[in-house]
Chains A and B, each alone.
Chain A
Protein backbone atom coordinates (compact mmCIF):
# COMPACT_ATOMS: atom_id res chain seq x y z
CA UNK A 1 0.00 0.00 0.00
CA UNK A 2 1.48 3.32 -0.97
CA UNK A 3 1.44 6.30 1.30
CA UNK A 4 -1.27 7.96 -0.81
CA UNK A 5 -3.57 4.95 -0.46
CA UNK A 6 -2.98 4.85 3.28
CA UNK A 7 -3.94 8.49 3.52
CA UNK A 8 -7.17 7.89 1.62
CA UNK A 9 -8.05 4.88 3.71
CA UNK A 10 -7.75 6.49 7.09
CA UNK A 11 -10.99 6.97 8.94
CA UNK A 12 -10.03 9.82 11.24
CA UNK A 13 -10.28 13.50 10.46
CA UNK A 14 -8.30 16.47 11.66
CA UNK A 15 -9.41 19.50 13.66
CA UNK A 16 -7.14 22.46 14.17
CA UNK A 17 -7.16 24.32 17.49
CA UNK A 18 -5.36 27.61 17.75
CA UNK A 19 -3.18 29.65 17.33
CA UNK A 20 -5.87 31.74 19.02
CA UNK A 21 -8.63 29.85 20.74
CA UNK A 22 -10.80 30.51 23.81
CA UNK A 23 -9.28 27.59 25.69
CA UNK A 24 -5.72 28.79 25.08
CA UNK A 25 -4.25 31.57 27.18
CA UNK A 26 -1.41 32.09 24.75
CA UNK A 27 -1.01 31.31 21.03
CA UNK A 28 -0.04 27.74 20.17
CA UNK A 29 -1.33 25.72 17.25
CA UNK A 30 -2.59 22.17 17.67
CA UNK A 31 -3.86 19.85 15.00
CA UNK A 32 -5.71 16.84 16.38
CA UNK A 33 -6.33 13.60 14.47
CA UNK A 34 -9.65 12.28 15.70
CA UNK A 35 -11.42 8.96 15.52
CA UNK A 36 -14.92 9.81 16.69
CA UNK A 37 -14.45 11.48 20.05
CA UNK A 38 -10.99 10.03 20.66
CA UNK A 39 -7.72 11.78 19.91
CA UNK A 40 -5.44 9.51 17.89
CA UNK A 41 -2.51 11.82 17.40
CA UNK A 42 -1.56 15.44 17.78
CA UNK A 43 0.69 17.80 15.91
CA UNK A 44 1.94 20.89 17.75
CA UNK A 45 3.21 23.99 16.03
CA UNK A 46 4.75 26.66 18.23
CA UNK A 47 6.16 29.94 16.97
CA UNK A 48 3.24 32.37 17.16
CA UNK A 49 4.53 34.40 20.04
CA UNK A 50 8.12 35.01 19.02
CA UNK A 51 9.36 38.41 20.20
CA UNK A 52 13.09 38.29 19.48
CA UNK A 53 14.11 39.14 23.03
CA UNK A 54 17.43 37.31 22.75
CA UNK A 55 18.47 39.55 19.85
CA UNK A 56 17.56 42.62 21.90
CA UNK A 57 19.69 41.22 24.72
CA UNK A 58 22.66 41.02 22.35
CA UNK A 59 22.38 44.76 21.70
CA UNK A 60 22.59 46.10 25.26
CA UNK A 61 24.70 45.63 28.36
CA UNK A 62 23.73 43.05 31.01
CA UNK A 63 22.42 45.66 33.44
CA UNK A 64 19.91 46.73 30.79
CA UNK A 65 19.14 43.16 29.76
CA UNK A 66 18.39 42.13 33.36
CA UNK A 67 14.93 43.66 33.38
CA UNK A 68 14.35 42.69 29.77
CA UNK A 69 15.04 39.07 30.77
CA UNK A 70 12.49 39.49 33.53
CA UNK A 71 9.88 40.30 30.91
CA UNK A 72 10.30 36.97 29.12
CA UNK A 73 7.45 35.76 31.29
CA UNK A 74 4.87 37.61 33.32
CA UNK A 75 4.39 34.87 35.90
CA UNK A 76 7.82 33.37 36.53
CA UNK A 77 9.63 36.67 36.04
CA UNK A 78 12.01 36.48 38.99
CA UNK A 79 13.06 32.99 37.88
CA UNK A 80 14.37 34.45 34.62
CA UNK A 81 16.05 37.24 36.55
CA UNK A 82 17.78 34.86 38.98
CA UNK A 83 18.87 32.55 36.16
CA UNK A 84 20.19 35.40 34.02
CA UNK A 85 22.08 36.91 36.97
CA UNK A 86 23.55 33.53 37.82
CA UNK A 87 24.70 33.06 34.22
CA UNK A 88 26.43 36.45 34.24
CA UNK A 89 27.93 35.80 37.69
CA UNK A 90 29.16 32.43 36.45
CA UNK A 91 30.73 34.00 33.34
CA UNK A 92 32.47 36.81 35.21
CA UNK A 93 33.22 35.02 38.49
CA UNK A 94 31.24 37.34 40.76
CA UNK A 95 30.48 36.16 44.29
CA UNK A 96 27.07 36.76 45.87
CA UNK A 97 26.82 37.58 49.60
CA UNK A 98 24.95 34.92 51.67
CA UNK A 99 22.15 37.25 52.75
CA UNK A 100 21.39 38.10 49.13
CA UNK A 101 21.14 34.37 48.33
CA UNK A 102 18.56 33.93 51.09
CA UNK A 103 16.55 36.91 49.85
CA UNK A 104 16.60 35.44 46.33
CA UNK A 105 15.27 32.14 47.70
CA UNK A 106 12.47 33.91 49.58
CA UNK A 107 11.34 35.86 46.50
CA UNK A 108 11.60 32.76 44.27
CA UNK A 109 9.46 30.72 46.65
CA UNK A 110 6.89 33.51 47.06
CA UNK A 111 6.66 33.53 43.29
CA UNK A 112 6.16 29.77 43.24
CA UNK A 113 3.22 30.15 45.63
CA UNK A 114 1.57 32.77 43.42
CA UNK A 115 2.27 30.85 40.21
CA UNK A 116 0.86 27.56 41.50
CA UNK A 117 -2.25 29.21 42.94
CA UNK A 118 -2.76 30.99 39.63
CA UNK A 119 -2.43 27.68 37.81
CA UNK A 120 -4.93 26.03 40.15
CA UNK A 121 -7.42 28.76 39.28
CA UNK A 122 -6.84 28.30 35.55
CA UNK A 123 -7.28 24.54 35.89
CA UNK A 124 -10.57 25.04 37.74
CA UNK A 125 -11.72 27.42 35.00
CA UNK A 126 -10.86 24.90 32.26
CA UNK A 127 -13.01 22.34 34.07
CA UNK A 128 -15.89 24.81 34.26
CA UNK A 129 -15.59 25.37 38.02
CA UNK A 130 -15.50 29.16 38.00
CA UNK A 131 -16.37 29.57 41.69
CA UNK A 132 -13.05 27.96 42.53
CA UNK A 133 -11.27 30.16 39.97
CA UNK A 134 -12.50 33.31 41.68
CA UNK A 135 -11.73 31.92 45.12
CA UNK A 136 -8.13 30.95 44.27
CA UNK A 137 -7.44 34.22 42.53
CA UNK A 138 -8.81 36.17 45.48
CA UNK A 139 -6.49 34.39 47.91
CA UNK A 140 -3.58 34.94 45.51
CA UNK A 141 -3.80 38.69 46.15
CA UNK A 142 -2.17 38.26 49.58
CA UNK A 143 1.11 37.00 48.13
CA UNK A 144 1.03 39.67 45.41
CA UNK A 145 0.71 42.33 48.14
CA UNK A 146 3.68 40.86 50.01
CA UNK A 147 5.76 40.88 46.83
CA UNK A 148 4.78 44.51 46.23
CA UNK A 149 5.74 45.37 49.80
CA UNK A 150 9.15 43.67 49.54
CA UNK A 151 10.10 44.83 46.05
CA UNK A 152 8.03 47.88 45.12
CA UNK A 153 6.36 46.24 42.12
CA UNK A 154 3.39 43.86 41.95
CA UNK A 155 4.73 41.90 38.98
CA UNK A 156 8.20 42.11 37.39
CA UNK A 157 9.77 42.96 40.71
CA UNK A 158 13.21 44.17 39.49
CA UNK A 159 14.71 43.04 42.78
CA UNK A 160 17.63 40.84 41.78
CA UNK A 161 20.73 42.36 40.23
CA UNK A 162 24.07 40.95 39.12
CA UNK A 163 26.00 40.08 42.28
CA UNK A 164 23.17 40.43 44.78
CA UNK A 165 19.78 41.95 45.37
CA UNK A 166 18.70 45.59 45.41
CA UNK A 167 16.48 45.71 48.47
CA UNK A 168 16.87 44.16 51.89
CA UNK A 169 14.09 42.52 53.88
CA UNK A 170 13.84 44.82 56.90
CA UNK A 171 12.85 43.93 60.46
CA UNK A 172 9.47 45.63 59.99
CA UNK A 173 8.69 43.58 56.88
CA UNK A 174 9.49 40.17 58.40
CA UNK A 175 6.36 39.87 60.60
CA UNK A 176 4.18 40.80 57.62
CA UNK A 177 5.73 38.02 55.53
CA UNK A 178 5.19 35.55 58.40
CA UNK A 179 1.58 36.71 58.70
CA UNK A 180 0.99 36.03 55.00
CA UNK A 181 2.56 32.57 55.37
CA UNK A 182 0.23 31.77 58.26
CA UNK A 183 -2.72 32.89 56.09
CA UNK A 184 -1.72 30.41 53.38
CA UNK A 185 -1.09 27.63 55.88
CA UNK A 186 -4.64 27.95 57.20
CA UNK A 187 -5.97 28.25 53.69
CA UNK A 188 -4.19 25.23 52.26
CA UNK A 189 -6.46 22.77 54.01
CA UNK A 190 -9.43 24.45 52.36
CA UNK A 191 -7.74 24.41 48.93
CA UNK A 192 -6.79 20.73 49.23
CA UNK A 193 -10.36 19.95 50.24
CA UNK A 194 -11.82 22.00 47.39
CA UNK A 195 -9.56 20.49 44.73
CA UNK A 196 -8.71 16.97 45.79
CA UNK A 197 -11.85 15.85 47.58
CA UNK A 198 -14.28 17.27 45.06
CA UNK A 199 -16.08 14.44 43.19
CA UNK A 200 -16.47 16.48 39.96
CA UNK A 201 -12.79 17.40 39.77
CA UNK A 202 -11.86 13.77 40.48
CA UNK A 203 -14.13 12.57 37.65
CA UNK A 204 -12.70 15.06 35.19
CA UNK A 205 -9.01 14.66 36.04
CA UNK A 206 -8.43 11.06 37.15
CA UNK A 207 -6.81 8.96 34.41
CA UNK A 208 -6.94 11.92 32.03
CA UNK A 209 -3.76 13.12 30.35
CA UNK A 210 -1.64 10.30 31.68
CA UNK A 211 2.12 10.66 31.35
CA UNK A 212 3.78 7.42 32.44
CA UNK A 213 7.02 7.31 34.43
CA UNK A 214 8.84 5.88 31.39
CA UNK A 215 7.50 8.56 29.02
CA UNK A 216 8.36 11.32 31.47
CA UNK A 217 11.95 10.06 31.62
CA UNK A 218 12.28 9.49 27.87
CA UNK A 219 10.72 12.80 26.83
CA UNK A 220 12.75 14.75 29.40
CA UNK A 221 9.79 16.33 31.13
CA UNK A 222 10.78 18.80 33.84
CA UNK A 223 9.26 20.38 36.91
CA UNK A 224 5.83 19.48 38.28
CA UNK A 225 4.99 17.66 35.01
CA UNK A 226 7.81 15.17 35.62
CA UNK A 227 7.31 14.98 39.37
CA UNK A 228 3.61 14.18 38.90
CA UNK A 229 4.72 11.08 36.99
CA UNK A 230 6.88 9.99 39.90
CA UNK A 231 10.23 11.23 38.57
CA UNK A 232 12.11 12.73 41.49
CA UNK A 233 13.65 15.58 39.55
CA UNK A 234 14.27 18.99 41.04
CA UNK A 235 17.26 21.24 40.38
CA UNK A 236 17.00 22.60 43.92
CA UNK A 237 17.82 19.11 45.21
CA UNK A 238 19.86 17.59 42.37
CA UNK A 239 22.30 20.47 41.96
CA UNK A 240 21.69 22.77 44.92
CA UNK A 241 22.38 26.46 44.38
CA UNK A 242 21.66 29.78 46.14
CA UNK A 243 20.76 29.02 49.77
CA UNK A 244 18.95 25.75 48.97
CA UNK A 245 21.73 23.45 50.31
CA UNK A 246 21.10 24.85 53.80
CA UNK A 247 17.35 24.23 53.65
CA UNK A 248 15.47 20.98 54.12
CA UNK A 249 13.77 20.05 50.90
CA UNK A 250 12.58 16.91 49.11
CA UNK A 251 11.16 16.63 45.58
CA UNK A 252 7.36 16.39 45.84
CA UNK A 253 5.76 13.40 44.14
CA UNK A 254 2.07 12.43 44.29
CA UNK A 255 2.76 9.29 46.37
CA UNK A 256 2.98 11.59 49.38
CA UNK A 257 -0.78 12.06 49.07
CA UNK A 258 -2.20 8.87 47.57
CA UNK A 259 -0.71 5.37 47.50
CA UNK A 260 0.27 4.98 43.84
CA UNK A 261 1.43 7.34 41.12
CA UNK A 262 -0.74 7.60 38.00
CA UNK A 263 0.78 10.58 36.22
CA UNK A 264 -2.64 12.02 35.37
CA UNK A 265 -3.93 15.59 35.72
CA UNK A 266 -5.13 14.83 39.27
CA UNK A 267 -1.53 14.02 40.22
CA UNK A 268 -0.39 17.31 38.74
CA UNK A 269 -2.88 19.14 40.97
CA UNK A 270 -1.56 17.21 43.99
CA UNK A 271 2.05 18.08 43.21
CA UNK A 272 1.34 21.79 42.74
CA UNK A 273 -0.75 22.12 45.89
CA UNK A 274 1.84 20.25 47.97
CA UNK A 275 4.55 22.46 46.50
CA UNK A 276 2.72 25.52 47.81
CA UNK A 277 3.02 23.96 51.26
CA UNK A 278 6.68 23.16 50.64
CA UNK A 279 7.39 26.75 49.56
CA UNK A 280 5.78 28.09 52.75
CA UNK A 281 8.11 25.84 54.77
CA UNK A 282 11.14 26.92 52.74
CA UNK A 283 10.43 30.62 53.28
CA UNK A 284 10.02 30.02 57.03
CA UNK A 285 13.34 28.18 57.15
CA UNK A 286 15.04 30.88 55.09
CA UNK A 287 13.72 33.63 57.40
CA UNK A 288 15.06 31.67 60.40
CA UNK A 289 18.51 31.00 58.97
CA UNK A 290 19.07 34.27 57.09
CA UNK A 291 22.41 35.76 58.20
CA UNK A 292 22.99 39.48 58.71
CA UNK A 293 25.26 41.37 56.38
CA UNK A 294 25.75 42.70 52.88
CA UNK A 295 23.15 42.29 50.14
CA UNK A 296 25.36 42.91 47.12
CA UNK A 297 25.59 45.47 44.40
CA UNK A 298 23.07 48.26 44.81
CA UNK A 299 25.08 51.46 45.21
CA UNK A 300 26.10 53.71 42.34
CA UNK A 301 29.82 53.03 42.73
CA UNK A 302 29.25 49.29 42.55
CA UNK A 303 27.01 49.52 39.49
CA UNK A 304 29.55 51.64 37.62
CA UNK A 305 32.35 49.29 38.71
CA UNK A 306 30.37 46.30 37.43
CA UNK A 307 30.01 47.83 33.95
CA UNK A 308 33.78 48.44 33.86
CA UNK A 309 34.44 44.84 34.95
CA UNK A 310 32.14 43.43 32.25
CA UNK A 311 34.00 45.40 29.62
CA UNK A 312 37.38 44.11 30.80
CA UNK A 313 36.65 40.41 31.07
CA UNK A 314 35.54 37.68 28.70
CA UNK A 315 34.00 34.29 29.28
CA UNK A 316 30.87 32.21 29.11
CA UNK A 317 28.49 31.10 31.80
CA UNK A 318 25.31 29.19 32.49
CA UNK A 319 22.56 29.65 35.02
CA UNK A 320 19.97 27.08 36.08
CA UNK A 321 16.98 27.49 38.32
CA UNK A 322 13.91 25.49 39.26
CA UNK A 323 11.19 27.84 38.03
CA UNK A 324 7.55 27.09 39.02
CA UNK A 325 7.17 25.24 35.70
CA UNK A 326 10.46 23.33 35.77
CA UNK A 327 14.09 23.74 34.93
CA UNK A 328 15.09 27.05 33.41
CA UNK A 329 18.40 27.53 31.65
CA UNK A 330 20.29 30.62 30.48
CA UNK A 331 23.58 30.73 28.59
CA UNK A 332 25.62 33.89 28.06
CA UNK A 333 28.95 34.67 26.44
CA UNK A 334 31.03 37.84 26.67
CA UNK A 335 33.94 39.02 24.57
CA UNK A 336 36.77 41.29 25.56
CA UNK A 337 36.44 45.09 25.17
CA UNK A 338 32.68 44.99 24.96
CA UNK A 339 30.05 45.17 27.65
CA UNK A 340 27.48 43.67 25.29
CA UNK A 341 27.19 39.86 25.27
CA UNK A 342 27.74 38.19 21.89
CA UNK A 343 25.41 35.31 22.72
CA UNK A 344 22.45 34.86 25.02
CA UNK A 345 20.31 31.73 24.89
CA UNK A 346 17.26 30.87 26.96
CA UNK A 347 15.70 27.45 27.35
CA UNK A 348 12.37 27.50 29.10
CA UNK A 349 10.59 24.70 30.98
CA UNK A 350 7.63 24.70 28.57
CA UNK A 351 9.99 23.87 25.72
CA UNK A 352 11.12 20.74 27.58
CA UNK A 353 7.57 19.80 28.49
CA UNK A 354 6.04 20.30 25.05
CA UNK A 355 6.98 16.80 23.86
CA UNK A 356 5.07 15.20 26.71
CA UNK A 357 1.81 16.51 25.20
CA UNK A 358 1.77 13.65 22.67
CA UNK A 359 1.42 10.68 25.05
CA UNK A 360 -0.91 12.74 27.22
CA UNK A 361 -3.32 13.40 24.36
CA UNK A 362 -3.42 9.85 22.99
CA UNK A 363 -6.80 8.37 23.78
CA UNK A 364 -8.18 11.55 25.32
CA UNK A 365 -11.61 12.95 24.48
CA UNK A 366 -12.16 16.28 22.75
CA UNK A 367 -13.63 17.75 25.93
CA UNK A 368 -10.44 16.89 27.82
CA UNK A 369 -8.25 18.87 25.44
CA UNK A 370 -8.37 22.21 27.37
CA UNK A 371 -7.42 20.72 30.73
CA UNK A 372 -4.62 18.65 29.19
CA UNK A 373 -3.27 21.73 27.45
CA UNK A 374 -3.39 23.59 30.76
CA UNK A 375 -1.93 20.77 32.86
CA UNK A 376 1.73 21.36 32.02
CA UNK A 377 1.18 25.07 32.82
CA UNK A 378 2.40 26.15 29.40
CA UNK A 379 4.08 29.52 29.04
CA UNK A 380 4.29 30.15 25.33
CA UNK A 381 5.76 33.64 25.60
CA UNK A 382 8.76 32.09 27.35
CA UNK A 383 9.11 29.29 24.90
CA UNK A 384 8.96 30.67 21.36
CA UNK A 385 12.60 30.98 20.44
CA UNK A 386 13.30 29.68 16.92
CA UNK A 387 11.45 30.98 13.90
CA UNK A 388 12.75 31.79 10.45
CA UNK A 389 11.26 34.51 8.27
CA UNK A 390 12.66 34.98 4.81
CA UNK A 391 11.20 36.82 1.79
CA UNK A 392 7.88 37.18 3.59
CA UNK A 393 7.63 33.42 3.89
CA UNK A 394 7.75 31.63 7.19
CA UNK A 395 9.49 28.32 7.75
CA UNK A 396 9.65 26.37 10.94
CA UNK A 397 12.71 24.23 10.79
CA UNK A 398 12.61 20.51 11.21
CA UNK A 399 15.42 18.57 12.85
CA UNK A 400 16.98 17.53 9.52
CA UNK A 401 17.33 21.15 8.37
CA UNK A 402 18.73 22.17 11.74
CA UNK A 403 21.24 19.32 11.58
CA UNK A 404 22.25 20.30 8.05
CA UNK A 405 22.77 23.88 9.27
CA UNK A 406 24.82 22.61 12.19
CA UNK A 407 27.04 20.49 9.95
CA UNK A 408 27.45 23.39 7.56
CA UNK A 409 28.61 25.59 10.43
CA UNK A 410 31.13 22.98 11.58
CA UNK A 411 32.53 22.82 8.05
CA UNK A 412 32.64 26.60 7.82
CA UNK A 413 34.47 26.93 11.13
CA UNK A 414 36.98 24.27 10.09
CA UNK A 415 37.62 26.42 7.05
Chain B
Protein backbone atom coordinates (compact mmCIF):
# COMPACT_ATOMS: atom_id res chain seq x y z
CA UNK B 1 0.00 0.00 0.00
CA UNK B 2 2.82 2.38 0.83
CA UNK B 3 4.42 1.51 -2.52
CA UNK B 4 1.27 2.75 -4.28
CA UNK B 5 1.56 6.00 -2.31
CA UNK B 6 5.18 6.45 -3.35
CA UNK B 7 4.43 5.87 -7.04
CA UNK B 8 1.44 8.21 -6.85
CA UNK B 9 3.64 10.86 -5.27
CA UNK B 10 6.08 10.67 -8.22
CA UNK B 11 3.47 12.28 -10.48
CA UNK B 12 1.96 14.66 -7.92
CA UNK B 13 3.04 18.15 -6.95
CA UNK B 14 5.18 18.13 -3.78
CA UNK B 15 3.29 19.03 -0.61
CA UNK B 16 5.91 21.63 0.35
CA UNK B 17 5.24 25.22 -0.67
CA UNK B 18 8.53 26.52 -2.09
CA UNK B 19 8.49 29.76 -0.12
CA UNK B 20 10.06 32.28 -0.78
CA UNK B 21 11.89 30.86 -3.85
CA UNK B 22 12.31 27.43 -5.34
CA UNK B 23 16.09 27.34 -4.95
CA UNK B 24 18.26 29.14 -2.45
CA UNK B 25 19.71 32.22 -4.22
CA UNK B 26 23.49 32.75 -4.15
CA UNK B 27 23.05 35.99 -2.25
CA UNK B 28 19.83 36.59 -0.34
CA UNK B 29 20.22 40.34 -0.01
CA UNK B 30 21.05 40.69 -3.74
CA UNK B 31 17.92 38.68 -4.53
CA UNK B 32 15.73 40.85 -2.30
CA UNK B 33 17.15 44.05 -3.84
CA UNK B 34 16.53 42.79 -7.37
CA UNK B 35 12.77 42.84 -6.74
CA UNK B 36 12.13 39.57 -8.55
CA UNK B 37 8.77 37.93 -7.63
CA UNK B 38 8.69 35.48 -4.71
CA UNK B 39 6.51 32.40 -4.32
CA UNK B 40 3.62 33.53 -2.06
CA UNK B 41 3.32 31.92 1.41
CA UNK B 42 0.45 29.59 2.36
CA UNK B 43 -2.63 31.79 2.97
CA UNK B 44 -3.61 32.37 6.60
CA UNK B 45 -7.06 31.42 7.91
CA UNK B 46 -9.52 34.09 9.13
CA UNK B 47 -8.89 35.36 12.68
CA UNK B 48 -5.22 34.44 12.38
CA UNK B 49 -3.02 35.69 15.21
CA UNK B 50 -0.33 37.74 13.52
CA UNK B 51 1.60 40.95 14.08
CA UNK B 52 -0.08 43.44 16.42
CA UNK B 53 -1.61 46.68 15.16
CA UNK B 54 -1.69 49.61 17.60
CA UNK B 55 -4.23 52.44 17.19
CA UNK B 56 -2.40 55.11 19.12
CA UNK B 57 -5.19 57.68 19.05
CA UNK B 58 -7.67 55.24 20.66
CA UNK B 59 -5.34 54.28 23.53
CA UNK B 60 -6.40 55.63 26.93
CA UNK B 61 -3.22 54.60 28.77
CA UNK B 62 -4.89 52.29 31.32
CA UNK B 63 -1.94 49.81 31.39
CA UNK B 64 -4.28 46.78 31.41
CA UNK B 65 -2.47 45.17 28.47
CA UNK B 66 0.81 45.14 30.39
CA UNK B 67 -0.84 43.26 33.26
CA UNK B 68 -1.79 40.28 31.08
CA UNK B 69 1.14 40.13 28.65
CA UNK B 70 3.14 36.95 29.36
CA UNK B 71 6.32 38.15 27.67
CA UNK B 72 6.67 41.77 28.88
CA UNK B 73 6.25 43.08 25.35
CA UNK B 74 4.47 46.22 26.47
CA UNK B 75 6.27 49.19 27.99
CA UNK B 76 4.30 52.11 29.41
CA UNK B 77 5.51 55.58 28.49
CA UNK B 78 4.32 57.78 31.39
CA UNK B 79 5.09 61.16 29.71
CA UNK B 80 2.66 60.46 26.87
CA UNK B 81 0.33 58.00 28.66
CA UNK B 82 0.72 55.60 25.75
CA UNK B 83 2.41 52.21 25.38
CA UNK B 84 5.26 50.88 23.28
CA UNK B 85 5.42 47.30 21.93
CA UNK B 86 8.66 45.37 21.48
CA UNK B 87 7.35 42.79 19.02
CA UNK B 88 10.51 40.67 18.97
CA UNK B 89 9.28 39.20 22.26
CA UNK B 90 5.60 38.80 21.32
CA UNK B 91 4.18 35.28 21.71
CA UNK B 92 0.96 35.98 19.72
CA UNK B 93 -1.43 34.95 22.51
CA UNK B 94 -3.64 37.99 21.89
CA UNK B 95 -4.59 38.64 25.52
CA UNK B 96 -3.83 42.37 25.16
CA UNK B 97 -6.37 42.63 22.32
CA UNK B 98 -8.96 40.89 24.51
CA UNK B 99 -8.50 43.04 27.60
CA UNK B 100 -8.07 46.46 25.92
CA UNK B 101 -11.10 48.57 27.00
CA UNK B 102 -10.70 50.99 24.05
CA UNK B 103 -10.09 48.37 21.31
CA UNK B 104 -6.80 50.07 20.52
CA UNK B 105 -4.94 46.81 19.82
CA UNK B 106 -5.67 44.44 16.94
CA UNK B 107 -4.04 41.41 15.38
CA UNK B 108 -3.25 41.34 11.65
CA UNK B 109 -2.49 38.61 9.13
CA UNK B 110 1.15 39.60 8.83
CA UNK B 111 3.65 37.02 10.06
CA UNK B 112 6.91 37.70 8.21
CA UNK B 113 8.71 39.34 11.09
CA UNK B 114 12.25 37.96 10.85
CA UNK B 115 14.87 40.66 11.29
CA UNK B 116 18.55 41.00 12.17
CA UNK B 117 17.85 43.75 14.67
CA UNK B 118 15.23 43.18 17.35
CA UNK B 119 14.80 46.95 17.82
CA UNK B 120 14.27 47.65 14.13
CA UNK B 121 11.46 49.93 12.97
CA UNK B 122 9.33 46.96 11.94
CA UNK B 123 9.49 45.40 15.41
CA UNK B 124 8.88 48.38 17.69
CA UNK B 125 5.29 49.63 17.63
CA UNK B 126 4.48 53.09 18.94
* Chain A positions near chain B (C-beta within 8 angstroms): 60-61, 63-68, 71, 131-132, 135, 138, 141, 145, 148-149, 152-153, 156, 158, 166-167, 190, 193-194, 198, 298-300, 303-304, 307
A156 to B93, CA, bound (A): 8
Task: Name 7 A/B residue pairs within 8 A (Cβ), A-sorted.
Answer: A61-B67, A68-B70, A135-B5, A138-B15, A145-B45, A153-B92, A194-B2
- Contact across chains for B2 and A193 when beta carbons are under 8 A apart: yes
Q: Does B98 contact A (CB under 8 A)?
A: yes
Q: Does B47 contact A (CB under 8 A)?
A: yes
Chain B 80-112 interface 0/1 with A at a Cβ cutoff of 8 Å (1 = within):
000000000001111100111100000100000
Q: Does B114 contact A (CB under 8 A)?
A: no
- Contact across chains for B94 and A152 when beta carbons are under 8 A apart: yes
**Given the interface contacts A135-B5, A141-B15, A194-B1, does A63 sit within 8 Å of B49 by beta carbon?**
no
A64 to B65, CA, bound (A): 11
Residues of B within 8 A of A63 (CB): 67-68, 95
**Given the interface contacts A166-B98, A193-B2, does A67 sit within 8 Å of B93 by beta carbon?**
yes
**Given the interface contacts A135-B5, A141-B15, A194-B2, does A304 sit within 8 Å of B99 by beta carbon?**
yes
Q: Does B48 contact A (CB under 8 A)?
A: yes
- Contact across chains for A64 and B68 when beta carbons are under 8 A apart: yes
Q: Does B59 contact A (CB under 8 A)?
A: no
- Contact across chains for A148 and B2 when beta carbons are under 8 A apart: no
- Contact across chains for B2 and A152 when beta carbons are under 8 A apart: no
CB-CB nearest in chain B for A194: B2
- Contact across chains for A152 and B49 when beta carbons are under 8 A apart: yes
- Contact across chains for B92 and A158 when beta carbons are under 8 A apart: yes
CB-CB nearest in chain B for A149: B45
* Chain B positions near chain A (C-beta within 8 angstroms): 1-2, 5-6, 15, 44-45, 47-49, 64, 67-70, 91-95, 98-101, 107
8 shortest interchain CB distances as A-B pairs: A152-B49, A158-B93, A67-B93, A64-B70, A67-B70, A149-B45, A194-B2, A193-B1
- Contact across chains for A64 and B69 when beta carbons are under 8 A apart: yes
A4 to B50, CA, bound (A): 63
Residues of B within 8 A of A66 (CB): 70, 93
- Contact across chains for A152 and B47 when beta carbons are under 8 A apart: yes
CB distance from B2 to the nearest CB of A (A): 5
Residues of A within 8 A of B92 (CB): 152-153, 156, 158
CB-CB nearest in chain B for A192: B1
**Given the interface contacts A152-B48, A193-B1, A194-B2, does A307 sit within 8 Å of B67 by beta carbon?**
yes
A299 to B94, CA, bound (A): 12
Residues of B within 8 A of A198 (CB): 2
CB-CB nearest in chain B for A145: B45
A112 to B45, CA, bound (A): 22
- Given A152-B45, A153-B92, 18 new contacts (CB under 8 A): A60-B70, A63-B95, A64-B69, A65-B70, A67-B93, A132-B2, A138-B15, A145-B45, A148-B44, A148-B45, A152-B47, A153-B49, A166-B94, A167-B47, A198-B2, A300-B98, A300-B100, A303-B99
- Contact across chains for B1 and A148 when beta carbons are under 8 A apart: no
- Contact across chains for B1 and A190 when beta carbons are under 8 A apart: yes
